[in-house]
Amino acid sequence: MEAETALGVCAALAACVPEWRRGGVRHRLETLVRQRVFQIACGYEDRDAADRRRTDPAFKLAGGRLPESEPDLASQPTFSRAENAVDRRAVERLAEALAERDLRERGRAGVPARILLDLDGTDDPAHGNQGGGGIDPTDAAWMLGLVSLVAIPGQIALGYLSDRIGRRSVWLAGSLGFALCYAALLLLQRSPTLPLLWVMVVAQGTLGYGLTSVIGAIPAETFPGRHHGTICGSLILASICGGAAGPWLTGTLYDLTGSYVPAFWIAIGVSVLGAVAVWIAAPPARPSSPSDPIRQREGAG
């Protein structure tokens, strides 16, 4: 720690890291860099180790904080955001800072007659869910926006089809679209490719969100009569509550298991269950005829 302070390596590196935060800051960039450097030096290269070592007295001293009276160090999410804030330009500045420190220290004994550069070209691929591996974050953000965009023609097309092939068939297609979306999310964890991401977008947006075109028509045809408004309103309220509970349950399962896999499998099961339930509850569509009492009453009115 004393050697690092004398060299000023962490301070020089911190000056090259872009500040991504706005407003109040709990951990200075230099403190973050010192914590990360000393964790790696002690064998804790995984960012998750910060959650367990942030209260360690030795690491707090290395980060410039008193073990008992001053706040704990940063946790894993802070390091994830910090490392994602480092772009190509920042990487170049970091390399220059290290080179400057190296040349400065080597030059204390005089100008070196020769400098030998040992460049390691070993490939270091990203494994698992590491940031920067697989799908580019910018592409993922654009795809998320496209989900709602492709939902517009999906709702129109499925609404048109429901008038011709029946509401139940369209509900089945939409439910299977949601199930296919969650299946694609499961596969994306193993094979993060752009075509698979497109499958997720189209399945969720075009098919899944297309359910809104029949969410009112199915209760109207299944429960015609004076209580239709109450029944339809109750179903929509339940769907809103489910939309709020789903993300909460997914986050809770992730906190407990460290994975989204259980939540995605539950979502697939719920999608299939919803398709089966509507198929059983909704009556089959029947074409109207001139003798239809409903049409007779409409004609008399």
The verdict on residue 122 lying in a domain is no
The pLDDT of residue 115 is 75
More confident residue, 296 or 148: 148
Shared domain for 145 and 277, answered yes or no, is: yes
Confidence of residue 116 (pLDDT cuts 50, 70, 90): confident
Question: How many structural domains is the chain composed of?
Answer: 2
Q: How far apart, in whole angstroms, are the C-alpha atoms of residue 52 and residue 74?
A: 10
Q: Minimal CA–CA distance to 166: which of 49, 46, 279, 24?
A: 279
Is 116 part of any domain? no
Mean pLDDT of 188-193: 82
Task: Name the residue among 195, 146, 143, 204 with its Cα closest to residue 175.
Answer: 204
- Which spans in the chain are helix H? 2-7, 9-14, 29-41, 49-53, 57-62, 76-84, 88-106, 137-165, 167-190, 194-202, 217-222, 228-257, 261-281, 293-300
Calculate mean pLDDT across residues 192-214: 87
Domain that holds residue 264: 137-281
Last residue of a domain, one of 50, 84, 103: 103
Residue 257 vs residue 228, higher pLDDT:
257
- Three-state DSSP at 290 gives coil
> Is 163 within a domain?
yes
Mean pLDDT of 137-146: 81
Residue 300 in this model has a pLDDT that exceeds 50? no
Mean pLDDT of the chain: 82
The pLDDT of residue 127 is above 80: no
State what percent of residues in the chain have pLDDT above 70.
Answer: 88
79 occurs within a structural domain: yes
Give the CATH number, domain containing residue 171: 1.20.1250.20
Is residue 94 domain-shared with residue 189, that is, in the same domain? no
Residue 149 near residue 205, CB atoms below 8 Å? yes
- Model confidence at 282, in pLDDT bands (50, 70, 90)? low
Same domain, residue pair 148 and 263: yes
Note whether residue 114 is domain-resident. no
Task: Specify if 37 maps to a domain.
Answer: yes
Q: Do 141 and 84 reside in the same domain of the chain?
A: no
